[in-house]
Chains A and B, each alone.
Chain A
Amino acid sequence: MTTPSHRLSARPLAIYPAAMLLVFFLIPFGIMVVVSFFHRVEGAFFEPAFEFANYARFLSPFFGKILATSIGLSAAAAVIGVVVAFPFTYFLTTMPRRQQTVILVFLLSVLSLSEVIIGFAWSTLLSRTAGVSNLLVWIGILDGPQAYTPSLTALLLGLCYLGFPYAVLVIYPALSRLDPELPEAARMSGASPVAAFFNVIIPVMRNTIVGTLILVFVFTLGAYLLPQVLGRPQHWTLSVHITDQAIFQSNLPFSAAMAVFLLLVSLALVGITMLLSQPKGQRS
């Protein structure tokens, strides 16, 4: 009997992730694409068909505005999140090792909170009856308690809170591997610490920054609870409407069409961002 070679035994291992991808991603995605062309039966579910009605319905000013709101909100959350997370992580990497670990563990524990808990926690914190405004009244800054939610600011705050730990965890390994002599070389060249940060650290970290922007953007694009808990109806994103159509209106074909649309738009945006952010040398 011949024993199987190493190459043969490596095959099943390579097939495993491919199979997982097929079963848990490609097949459900295929079903969704197929359903998006089906015909909805009023009062029932849906029946097989091939029609573009669901996509046609989407191409209206109403849903166009919702798409724009979704993208605008996620883009804003991504930019604010990275602008806050990057300097935060930079100072984190300059701290002693032990303190870094404590802060990273704390951030990881924030990741264990679900969107639901984060949403309701913030809505309580920003409410009139039990929120931070009561503290401000007690200190004497405000005359009476105020409600800060629902509002655009509250929603953005929630989205940034959601994306922030992910941003830090993506930036941290890259920044801690950064040669500490690079900013020092800038300083010896005559650059103030602030100039060294903008002239050297940010350009060197460019790929990481773009990657983090994309990650937080895509991640917050999928948030469907925060807009309902912290935002007003006009801030409801496409994800909220997809959930609404699928669960409450039982219109799976239309929600599938919207999901496909959202996927294509975010893919296009990620592609454009990656193209634009390529260094000069590689683009030419």
Chain B
Amino acid sequence: MTSVRIENLSKTFGEVRAVDGIDLDIPDGKFVCLLGPSGCGKTTLLRLIAGLEAESGGRILVDGQDQAGIPAHKRDFGMVFQSLALFPHLSVAENIAYPLKIRGTGAEERRKRATELLDLVQLPHIEDRAISQLSGGQRQRVAIARGLAIDPKLFLLDEPLSALDAKLREHMQIELRQLQQKLQVTTIVVTHDQREAMTMADIVIVMDRGKVQQAGPPIDIYRRPANSFVADFIGTTNLIPCTVKDGRSIDVLGHEVTLGEEDVINPDVNGSAILSVRPEDVAVTERAGDHTVPGEVAFIRDLGANVEISVRARDLEIRSVCTPKRRPDVAVGQTVGLEFHTGRCTVMAS
């Protein structure tokens, strides 16, 4: 039962502001993903919460208690590291029970808990193996088990799945999410993989250049990105310059498009702006009409499961994705019309 509150947190390394005045609220029992490109400060933020780095300014409150001055080893958190950092000189059971040993738990109790945790991560009967005998996926699970050994107040993971191959990674994402739902432990995961964040998180926190760009449920962030960085980083999108006229009417590439009730015009928009529309929300019509933006087909990529059509409109390349069934009868070089599904557009400040 742990909630985290971060107030105006910052961390500087020399001249570099790795974390730049972050405010966050992480409610109890939630699965939170810190998402962003490398160097955005997400790992530093996690290490600040863990106590492995000292903050340059601001506060971290865990259950209302200021963490300043509490060393990492007294915070009672569990952590899984990017390198996993399993102790090579200890057996699997000794690794998992190390946090209990440090706290003075007896040998019998430790062994029992290690067995219990191995069952939990679905790796029974490997207590006495050496770490060097385990596969990548097994090491991953042992590291998770060690992080959970003391029923931590917070479960922190730094790019935990980055060492696994793509298939196993997808599997572990689901497993990690199910594990967290079962234990209801407040969990913070650092990742640069937006699919991973979308799969696991209750709350995604998108970071760039030391600042939080947007925080919220994954689907909200996908549907209503706060700015062009978020729109581009989460999934793929078309970012088209536009001008907002009166009310819900915008001018896109010289054509007037009227937005529907469902479309979002961010409050900070004023005059010239950017329209973000996902490729799956762009339809290509065989003939340019009054309500469509004209363009010329530049490339068609048929991937089997879906068809991707790139259309050149003025000096922009706009991508449209549709299912093979809905594929329009167009060819490369043909002049077509582009239609934006209203209800799925976001207009943001440029």
Contact = CB atoms under 8 A, between A and B. Distances in A.
A203 interface: yes
A192 interface: yes
Interface in A255-284: 279, 281
Interface string B153-173: 000100000000000000000
Contacts of B74: 190
A15 B85 CA distance: 43
Given A185-B81, A187-B52, A189-B146, A200 B73 contact: no
A195 B79 CA distance: 18
A202 to B, nearest CB: 10
Interface stretch (B97-105, B243-251, B294-302, B323-331): B97-105
Interface residues of A, number: 22
A204 B102 contact: no
A186 B72 CA distance: 10
A143 interface: no
A218 to B, nearest CB: 26
Chain A, interface SS category: helix
B82 interface: yes
A200 B72 contact: no
Contact of B78 (A181, A182, A188, A195): A188
B123 interface: no
A137 to B, nearest CB: 45
Contacts of A192: 71, 73
Contacts of B103: 190
Contacts of A279: 89
B85 A182 contact: yes
The interface centre, meaning the residue of A179, A190, A199, A206 with most chain B CB atoms within 10 A of its CB, is A190
Interface in B138-196: 146-147, 149-150, 156
A205 to B, nearest CB: 10
Nearest to B89: A203
Contacts of B149: 189
A206 B88 CA distance: 11
Contacts of B156: 188
A51 interface: no
B83 A181 contact: yes
A182 B89 CA distance: 11
Contact of A281 (B76, B77, B86, B130): B130
Contacts of B229: none
A184 B81 contact: yes
B46 to A, nearest CB: 11
Given A179-B83, A281-B130, A187 B73 contact: yes
B50 interface: yes
A199 B103 CA distance: 13
A191 B87 CA distance: 13
A185 B150 contact: no
Given A184-B52, A185-B79, A190 B85 contact: no
A190 B81 contact: no
A188 B89 contact: no
A39 to B, nearest CB: 54
B143 to A, nearest CB: 8
A184 B85 contact: yes
B145 to A, nearest CB: 12
A191 B74 CA distance: 8
B102 A190 contact: yes
Contact of B87 (A182, A187, A206): A182
A191 B77 contact: no
B98 A186 contact: yes
B83 A189 contact: no
Nearest to B152: A188
Contacts of A185: 79, 81, 85-87, 146
B102 A195 contact: yes
A173 to B, nearest CB: 17
Contact of B89 (A181, A191, A196, A204): A204
A191 B85 contact: no
29 contacts: A181-B83, A181-B85, A182-B85, A184-B52, A184-B72, A185-B79, A185-B81, A185-B87, A186-B98, A187-B52, A187-B73, A188-B72, A188-B79, A189-B73, A189-B99, A189-B102, A189-B146, A190-B74, A191-B98, A191-B102, A192-B71, A192-B73, A195-B73, A195-B102, A199-B98, A200-B87, A203-B89, A206-B89, A281-B130
Given A181-B82, A185-B146, A206-B89, 7 more contacts: A181-B85, A184-B85, A186-B87, A188-B50, A188-B78, A189-B98, A204-B88
